[in-house]
Each structure stands twice: as C-alpha cells, then as structure tokens.
Amino acid sequence: MKLDIFTLFPEAFEWFLEQRPVRKAVEAGSEVNLRDYRDWTPIKGGRVDDAPYGGGAGMVIRVDVVDAALTGVYGAGERPRTVVLTPAGRQLDDALVSELSAEPAVAILSGRYEGFDHRVHEHLADDEVSIGPYVLAGGEIPAMVLAETVVRRLPGALGDPESPIEESFSEAMGGRPEYPHYTRPPEYRGWGVPEVLLSGDHERVRRWREQQSELRAGVRQGDSGGDSVASPDRHP
Ligand code: ADE
C-alpha cells in the first residue's frame, strides 16, 4: 500500500513516522509519504489559502492548490482513493479502516484554518472522513489517527500476525470491544486477576473473553458466566 498524507505541516508527523508499526510496515514494502501542499502551489509567495467568498472569519485552502499537489504527485493519470478529513464526514470505524487498508494506494488530505474550498470535497475527494463529532484546530491529528488505523492493518506492521485480527471492533470480535487483559503480578495491593485466566483451561478462557467482550458492548447484562469479575473494564 502507498499512503500519501498531504499537509501544510509535514514536521508535525515526524514522531508518527518513527513509530514501530509505521517503520515495520515500511520495511515490509508499504510506503508512507508526507506531501506538502506548498511544494506545488501555483500561487505566488507559496500561498495556499484565501479569504472565503461571502466574507467571514478564517481562511480557506484553495482548490487549485490541492489539485496542483495531487497532479504533482500522481501526474495527469489516475489518482488513488482520496480521503478529505473534515468533522462533517463519515465517522471513521473499523469497517472503513478495512476498506481503506485493502486499497493499493490512498491519499489523505489534511487541512487547517476553515478547511478546504468545497470543490475539493466535491471534485477531488472520494470520501469525507471524520474521526469524531468534535472540531480540532487542524487535520494533522485526524490524519495520524486515520493513517495509524490503516497502517496497523498492513503487512509487517504488528509483530504478532494475529493481533490485528482479534482486537476491539474487528470482525473476529463481532464488532464488539475487546476483552480485558491482565499480566503479572497475579495480585497487587489486593487487586486480583480473574481466576479463569490463571486456570490454563483454554476453552474456559475463550468463553470468559467472549462474555467480557459482550458485557462491554452491553449485549450481555451482568452475567459473568460463572467466572468471577464483577463488571467489565473496571480498574479492580
Ligand atoms: N478536522 C478538524 N476536526 C476534525 C475531525 N473531528 N475529524 C476530521 N477532521 C477534522
């Protein structure tokens, strides 16, 4: 997969690119590239934005700037699936992550200020995506959220090939949150670990985890399946 993140602030992504799943996915053959709109802007002085028609506060990223950046990277030919980040978009979920991570290439358009000229949404993007119903100052954090969810699905990103399969909200978990995890010590300040996890009985462990996942999802009401733990996901 080739992932291109278009941004006005490539330096904001330095930390992200150094993270293990990203490095591992890249080592395994995927690409994660940062693309700065300013490198292709046709506007004098490296400008990328302008005042909104009709007046109002803030600046709007120009459609010709975004188009020039996409053409600069992909040429005049076919462009990859292009996602514009906006609080008003389709809310990111596991199904969308699965869809995007199956693409050969994805372009993520991250904005700032008042966002993009709406023609970017209408004519240049295939998807409008939000990371949640709240407004952030810019698209950098949403771009990292989206990129990380996608990168985690790419070959090589995670050490254990099973781990992205059975995690919260995945198909293997029936779309439910994952079960709680515990590790040593078995008792700390009187806080114990559910006995079933120490039993070595894989079938009982499997059933307990399934029940915990259902409890967290609100599918199951207070039934711990005979194995002790009063409520899901409480710090004991
Ligand atoms: N830009 C600002 N807020 C956002 C959000 N919640 N999702 C995606 N892009 C955004």
pLDDT digits (tens, 9 = 90+) for 200-212: 999 999 999 999 9
**CB of 45 closer than 8 Å to CB of 102:** no
pLDDT the model gives residue 206: 96
- Expressed in angstroms and rounded, the spacing between residue 90 Cα and the centre of ligand 1 is 11
> Do residues 138 and 210 both lie within one domain?
no
pLDDT greater at residue 46 or residue 173: 46
Q: Domain for residue 22, yes or no?
A: yes
pLDDT the model gives residue 222: 59
pLDDT the model gives residue 12: 97
For a substitution probing ligand 1, which of 9, 60, 84, 86 has the most ligand atoms within 8 Å of its CB? 86
> Do residues 14 and 127 both lie within one domain?
yes
> Do residues 137 and 183 both lie within one domain?
no
Q: Domain for residue 157, yes or no?
A: no
**CB of 30 closer than 8 Å to CB of 2:** yes
- Residue 135, pLDDT above cutoff 50: yes
**CB of 130 closer than 8 Å to CB of 90:** yes
pLDDT the model gives residue 187: 97
Average pLDDT over residues 79-100: 97
- Residue 230, pLDDT above cutoff 50: no
Nearest CA to ligand 1 atom 9: 86
Nearest CA to ligand 1 atom 7: 130
Answering whether pTM is above 0.75, one says yes
Average pLDDT over residues 161-187: 85
> Do residues 42 and 126 both lie within one domain?
yes
Q: Which residue range(s) make up the domain with 119?
A: 2-151
Distance CA 94, CA 100 (A): 10
Average pLDDT over residues 101-108: 98
- Expressed in angstroms and rounded, the spacing between residue 22 Cα and the centre of ligand 1 is 22
Q: Domain for residue 35, yes or no?
A: yes
Which residues does a 6 A CB cutoff place in the pocket of ligand 1?
A: 85-87, 130-132, 134-136, 139, 142
- Expressed in angstroms and rounded, the spacing between residue 85 Cα and the centre of ligand 1 is 6
> Do residues 91 and 201 both lie within one domain?
no
Nearest CA to ligand 1 atom 6: 87
> Do residues 172 and 135 both lie within one domain?
no
Q: Report in angstroms the alpha-carbon separations of 164 from 40, 151, 233.
A: 37, 11, 20
Distance CA 41, CA 17 (A): 24
Q: Domain for residue 156, yes or no?
A: no
Q: Domain for residue 147, yes or no?
A: yes
| φ, ψ of residue 32 in degrees (nearest 5) | -125, 110
- Residue 6, pLDDT above cutoff 70: yes
Whole-number average pLDDT of the chain: 92
> Do residues 111 and 72 both lie within one domain?
yes
> Do residues 93 and 192 both lie within one domain?
no
Count of structural domains, the chain: 2
Q: Which atom of ligand 1 is nearest to the CA of 110?
A: 9
pLDDT the model gives residue 227: 56
- Expressed in angstroms and rounded, the spacing between residue 77 Cα and the centre of ligand 1 is 29
Average pLDDT over residues 173-182: 90
- Expressed in angstroms and rounded, the spacing between residue 227 Cα and the centre of ligand 1 is 42
> Do residues 126 and 181 both lie within one domain?
no
